[in-house]
Structure 1
Amino acid sequence: MDNYATFFDKVRESIQQDEFIKMSLGDYNGTELYLKNVYIKPVIIKREKKLSFVFRYKTQDITQNFEISTGIMEIQGLLKVEGFRVATLFTESQNLSCQLTKKGTWILRKEEPTAKKPVLLAHDKQKERKLDSAGKVYLQELGLTDAAGKVYKNAQDKWKQINHYIEILSAMLKRLPQKDTLNVVDMGAGKGYLTFALYDYLVHKLQKRTYLVGVEYRKDLVELCNQVAAKSDFKNLLFLRGAIEEYQPESDLDMLIALHACDTATDDAIAKGIRHHADLIVVAPCCHKQIRREMEKNKTPNGLDFLLKHGIFMERQAEMVTDGLRALIMEYYGYQTRVFEFVSDAHTPKNVLVVGERKSIDPKRQQEILAKICSIKTYFGIDYHHLETLLEVR
């Protein structure tokens, strides 16, 4: 057996015995411009071990991942065909080099080991969760985990959604004015997955004394959520039955949330947040029928006629105009707004999140915003936006 074959036997053996740490290819004499080295290491991708190749060029690195058998063939091709003349295998027991001489033969060199085996082979950096599932009564009661706190396989998407939601809110929550007690309202709380998670995060992670009310129209969900809150010993979390437009907060709010409130229910929620001086308003609008009806009714000629004659483009434009006007109206009342896209879970399309943080506003800027709102309405043939009607913007 020649040295080349012996070397690759050692490569396969080190992988099978889990001793393979890394490999490098050097002394390149091929035709590919600017290629200098190739570095190979084992990684775990979707619970399967693979070989990750980093092709190092003069100005960039390119990464490719291969199945083990395919990766070994790729290494052989890089040596025999592509022009690399040195391969060094790093294992726990030795460094083994295979080098092509000027005479065209391969020689082996053994040296003492210099590389340390990594603790983890995960390809993707594991993100720190804002919440953990252990010991969470509400997660078990809502059917997401077993008694030991292990997330069920069919609940993984919902668990990722919950953590993604808290991740988004975490930075904003830290910017809230420092107060002894936070008053929070979640409009349209549904089954309460995100409501419970937010309360848990505020109280147990941020150590904030928090009163949180979840407003939900469906009686069965309200009863269920109150039972879960009692079992979880969440003493200051209460769910109330009612429509968003009917709910009246007893005092000013620190934070108002409304996720997937349909059509003008989002406007009802924003209006309550503004009237009750909420320092933070977070809404994920759902459906945009009111503005679309206005645009279709008036069909005002404008530069977007070529788009708006198509129903799907009209729908998308109505969504953008609706949420753009919402952001402007919030700015009129002194909120610093951001509109961005987020993914709620694997089974839900991307959503737009409209966020407003209460600041201050001067009268001159208010008039500029008002003029902008009027201009947009005229351009699209909109007689009114429900939110400006609720707040009597003028």
Structure 2
Amino acid sequence: MDNYATFFDKIRESLQREEFIKISLGDYNGTELYLKNVYIKPVIIKREKKLSFVFRYKTQDITQNFEIETAIMEIQGLLKVEGFRVATLFTERENLLCQFTKKGVWSLRQENPTAKKPVVLTHDKQKERKLDSADKVYLQELKLTDAAGNVYKNAQDKWKQINHYIEILSSILQRLPPRETLNVVDMGAGKGYLTFALYDYLVHTLQKRTSLVGVEYRKDLVELCNHIAAKSNFKDLLFMRGAIEDYQPQNDLDILIALHACDTATDDAIAKGIRHDADLIVVAPCCHKQIRREMEKSKVKNELDFLVKHGIFMERQAEMVTDGLRALIMEYFGYQTKVFQFVSDAHTPKNVLIVGEKKIVDTRKQQEILEKIKSTKAYFGISYHHLETLLEMG
């Protein structure tokens, strides 16, 4: 076996044994202008090991990441095709210098190791979590973490979703008007992943006295969540069985949450929040059938009708129109609205999060908003919007 082949065997071997540290390529004699060196190191990207290449030019660096086998082929090309004549493999055991000599052959020289293996390989930007996973009974009971607080591999996406949710709301929650007790309702709480996390963050991180009710129609989930709440010693967290449209808050309502409430159930939730003067309304709409049926029935002609002949575009347009009108209606009632991308778990499609903070009703703008709602409905052939009807806006 020649030296060149041996060098690549050593690369694969060091990767398999987890002894690989880095590779540097030098003595460039190729045609690419200003290219000087290439530096290669392992990284973890989305829990997958790859090799990161830094192409060093005279005035800039360019980084590319490759899967392991593709990376090895890339190195072979850089040496035999692109014109690098020296490659040095740094491992925990040795340094291995592979050099193209004046005789036209590859030489191989072994040296003592000089590089130190990095402690952390991750390339993903590490975010400061608003919640930690240690000593959280509810996370253990929901099968997200083990007893030591380690997040299970198959629960990583859900854990990211929970933290993304809290990250979005964190600054808004701190701006809420002072209350002796925050009264929160989470409509359509499901298995309670986000409900528990919100209660935990409000009570233990923000130190706000909080009474939170999770409304859920499925009896088995209500019983499960109440069991977990009791086991977690979350004294002011209660789950109740019921439908969103039927639930009537017993106290003042400060925060209303409705995540993935289907179709007009989102409108029912928003309407309750508005009627009860909630300081904060947070909804992640799911399904948009009511407006889509209106648009399909009218088949109005406008500048965008070329899109809606395609079913998937009709669906997306109906989503945007529905949620755009929801945001306008909330603004009519004095809410400052923002729309965020909200990525849920693997069983729910990507969605948007509509957040409304209660401000002051601007009577001067209300008429403008009404005109905008009216013209939007006419443009898309919508005879009525369910939320508008619930709130008796004419």
| Distance across 2 between alignment mates of 1:232 and 1:243 | 26
- CA deviations on 1:84-142 (whole Å, 9 max, x unpaired) are 23334445687665555667677888998764431112343444443333332223333
Decide which moves more: 382-391 or 121-130: 121-130
Contact 1:165–1:344 (CA<8 Å) still a contact in 2? no
Partner of 2:63: 62
Cα 1:81–1:22, aligned 2, differ >3 Å: closer, same or farther? Answer: same
Alpha-carbon distance change, 6 to 344 in structure 1, aligned in 2, over 3 angstroms? closer
Aligned residue number for residue 78 of structure 1 = 78
What amino acid is aligned across from residue 326 of structure 1 in structure 2? R
Mapping 1:369-384, distance limit 5 Å:
369-384=369-384
- Structure 1 pair 138/110, CA: closer, same or farther in 2 (3 Å)? closer
Q: What are the within-5 Å matches in structure 2 for residues 235-250 of structure 1? A: 235-250=235-250
Kindly indicate whether residue 233 of structure 2 is the aligned counterpart of residue 229 of structure 1. no
Q: Hey, what does 1:292 align to over in structure 2?
A: 292
DSSP-derived class of the 1:353 partner: strand
Is this contact kept in 1: 2:138–2:232, CA < 8 A? yes
- Kept in 1, the 8 Å contact 2:326–2:387? The answer is yes
TM-score by length of 1: 0.84
Instruction: Provide the aligned length of Structure 1 versus Structure 2.
Output: 393
The separation in 2 between residues aligned to 1:317 and 1:54, in whole angstroms, is 42
- TM-superposed deviation, 1:331: 1.3
C-alpha separation in 2, matches of 1:208 and 1:346: 32
Q: Secondary structure at the match of 2:277?
A: coil
CA offsets 1:60-84 (integer angstroms, 9 cap, x no match): 513132426x645643542343212
Task: Indicate the residue corresponding to 1:257 in structure 2.
Answer: 257
SS in 1 for 2:199: helix
Task: State the shift of 1:274 in Å.
Answer: 1.7
Deviation at 1:186, TM superposition (A): 0.4
Aligned equivalents of 1:308 and 1:73: distance in 2?
Answer: 46
101-110 or 294-303: bigger deviation: 101-110
- The one-letter code matched in structure 1 to 2:283 is V
Task: Say whether the 8 Å CA contact 1:145–1:152 is kept in structure 2.
Answer: yes
**More off after superposition, 146-155 vs 292-301:** 146-155
Q: CA–CA distance in 2 between the matches of 1:373 and 1:126?
A: 42
Task: Tell me what 1:210 maps to.
Answer: 210
Q: Distance in 1 between matches of 2:287 and 2:76?
A: 56
Give CA deviations for 1:194-225 in whole Å, capped at 9, x if unaligned. 21121112222332221111112233332332
Task: Out of 97-106 and 268-277, give the one that drifted further.
Answer: 97-106
The structure-2 alpha-carbon separation of the partners of 1:4 and 1:388, relative to structure 1 and needing over 3 Å to count, comes to closer
List per-residue Cα deviations over 1:10-55 (Å, max 9, x = no partner). Answer: 7677657655432322232202344332111133467665533222
Map 1:132-281 → 2, pairs under 5 A: 132-152=132-152, 154-281=154-281
Deviation, structure 1 residue 323: 0.8
Segment of structure 1 superposing worse, 163-172 or 320-329: 163-172
Identity across matched positions, percent: 82
Gaps of 5+ in 2: none
Deviation larger for 282-291 or 370-379: 282-291
Closer, same or farther: CA 17–264 of 1 in aligned 2, 3 Å: closer
Of the structure 1 ranges 10-19 and 150-159, higher mean CA displacement relative to structure 2 is found in 10-19
Aligned residues of 2:283 and 2:353 also touching (Cα < 8 A): yes
Secondary structure, counterpart of 1:214 in structure 2: strand
Q: Secondary structure at the match of 1:27?
A: strand
In 1, Cα distance between equivalents of 2:143 and 2:8: 50
1:178–1:98 CA distance, 2 compared to 1 (3 A) = farther
Deviation at 1:321, TM superposition (A): 1.2
Residue type at the aligned position of 1:242: G
Q: Is 1:212–1:238's contact at 8 Å kept on the other side of the alignment?
A: yes
Give the aligned residue type for 1:193.
Answer: Y
Deviates more, 1:368-377 or 1:24-33: 24-33
Give the CA deviation at 1:237.
0.6
- Which residue number in structure 1 is paired with residue 367 of structure 2? 367
Give the distance between the partners of 1:128 and 1:352, measured in 2 at CA.
23
Three-state SS of the structure 2 residue aligned to 1:36 is strand
Q: Which amino acid aligns with 1:64?
A: N
Coordinate RMSD, CA, aligned: 3.3
Contact 1:244 1:265 in 2 (8 A): yes
The range that moved more, 371-380 or 113-122, is 113-122
**How far apart, in 1, do the equivalents of 2:265 and 2:51 lie?**
52
Cα 1:268–1:15 change in 2 (3 A) is closer
CA, structure 1 residues 222+3, in 2 after alignment: closer, same or farther (shift >3 Å)? closer
Match of 1:336 in 2: 336
**Structure 1 unpaired stretches of 5+:** none
SS of residue paired to 2:133: coil
